[in-house]
Amino acid sequence: MELYLDTANLQEIKEVSELGIIRGVTTNPTLLAKEDPSVDFKQRILEIHRLVGGHVSVEVVSTDKEGMVREAEEIVEWFPEATIKIPMIPQGLAAVKELSKRGIPTNVTLVFSATQAIAAHQAGASYVSIFLGRLDDIAYDGIAILNDICEIWDVQGYDSLIIAASIRNPLHIIEAARAGADIATIPYNVLMQSLKNPLTDRGLENFLRDYDRYLTERQKSMLI
Ligand code: G3P
């Protein structure tokens, strides 16, 4: 399972890219709206791509097929490597079909059920994003639904890639990997939290303290 960062924040992307653990970034209008509005949208997306060097999903905001296709065409004009994020609505499926005919990769977003996921795949989606946290929020079991979808993908031999999205905690990452998701797209704070373990911190503290003690003892022994 590959890890993507779910953010539009350049500092977060720069910091995590340097760790060598992410292969892409997913953005959405809500994430973009959290950032400095004085930075031009195109510049931000191109900078994200420069920093991460891999997959970048860019979401459209039209709700009709023609508008979505037009937006996608405009995006790939200035950013040919873009994956176009399309909402899971009937008009979105029609847009995915059209974009797939033109060889433009799509990521169908806001998917909450296996039937929606199957439809997105059939329309020609390259990626299908399942929203775990938002399912949990309404007392549905997001991981159980992801498990179903991964099983269906195996049985059917579907080749579109499953993204576990709306990840809220490190357990979601583990369960998404166990289910067989191809990608988990993770917010910065959850990803950083998932790297930490108090035993690692305590272990390092002890190693450094013991090394200091060794140096002091050694210096003392050389004075004798
Ligand atoms: O990329 C979209 C998705 O990950 C959103 O997550 O936390 O807003 O449900 P969240």
Q: pLDDT digits over 189-210, tens only? A: 999 999 999 999 999 999 999 9
Q: Which of 3, 4, 5, 6 to mutate to test the pocket of ligand 1 (most atoms within 8 A of CB)?
A: 6
Q: Which of 7, 28, 32 to mutate to test the pocket of ligand 1 (most atoms within 8 A of CB)?
A: 28
The CA 165 to ligand 1 mean position distance, Å, reads 6
Q: What pLDDT score does 219 carry?
A: 92
Statement: residue 224 has pLDDT above 90:
no
Cβ contacts of 184 within 8 Å, gap of 6 or more:
1, 2, 3, 4, 163, 164, 167, 172, 173, 176, 177
Statement: residue 223 has pLDDT above 90:
no
The CA 138 to ligand 1 mean position distance, Å, reads 14
Q: If you average pLDDT over residues 111-139, what whole number do you get?
A: 98
Residue of 34, 42, 65, 85 marked catalytic: 85
Q: If you average pLDDT over residues 24-46, what whole number do you get?
A: 95
The CA 26 to ligand 1 mean position distance, Å, reads 9
Indicate whether residue 7 lines ligand 1 (CB < 6 A): no
**Active-site annotation holds for 85:** yes
Rg (CA), the chain: 22
Asked if 59 and 27 touch (Cβ cutoff 8 Å), the reply is: yes
Distance of alpha carbon 51 from alpha carbon 15, whole angstroms: 9
From residue 74, alpha-carbon distances to 53, 61, 77, 84, 117 in Å are 21, 13, 5, 11, 26
Please report which confidence band the pLDDT of residue 68 belongs to, taking 50, 70 and 90 as the band edges. very high
The CA 107 to ligand 1 mean position distance, Å, reads 14
Q: If you average pLDDT over residues 151-163, what whole number do you get?
A: 98
Token pair of 164 as six digits: 């576990």
Q: What pLDDT score does 18 carry?
A: 97
